A and B are shown apart, each in its own frame.
Chain A
Amino acid sequence: QSVLTQPPSVSAAPGQKVTVSCSGGRSNIGSSFVSWYQQLPGTAPKLLISEDYKRFSGIPDRFSGSKSGTSATLGITGLQSGDEADYYCATWDNVLDALVFGGGTKLTVL
């Protein structure tokens, strides 16, 4: 069980917007930057967002990141079938002294 809590699944229709939440605590999200990863089936994770909100090189502006207190959110607008993937949040936990990942959220584009 991860210290970062994500919903197991989210879904939305093509063209719509979806958000993925990542809830933690003061020792992790509350005191460190959050990053987000997309993992397409059978492939390695790919960095989408670093340092809470910075899009990685080549990532379209349909993807956005935000953080408030001990929670972070990944937003995806203009959903496409190619966005169907697992999404993970990650940050450093200074009590565990470890880098921690959320449990992952499976996005289905209806």
Chain B
Amino acid sequence: DAGVTQSPTHLIKTRGQQVTLRCSPKSGHDTVSWYQQALGQGPQFIFQYYEEEERQRGNFPDRFSGHQFPNYSSELNVNALLLGDSALYLCASSLLVGGGQANEKLFFGSGTQLSVL
């Protein structure tokens, strides 16, 4: 059973460019969350997608957008890249355990390391 897969694993872009990161959730999962992790820090929540809609968004500008497809896979798009967008971007899919939003555990991919030059 494949876990959460992300592509590409590494990416180098220049300021002002646009980037698309991709995520396939764990089999049977229907919810995808995206996190940004700067070096030496904990992950920061970007947004979560469920049933092809953005369900909740963290404190990130509109340059960060996403999409979820009918097969539950997801994309994260970042426009007008800044140097500060350099980070590890993590995708996580959810498994509901026992029902209820709090009873979920996230399965993470290995991330996409984005470098903006």
A and B form one complex: no
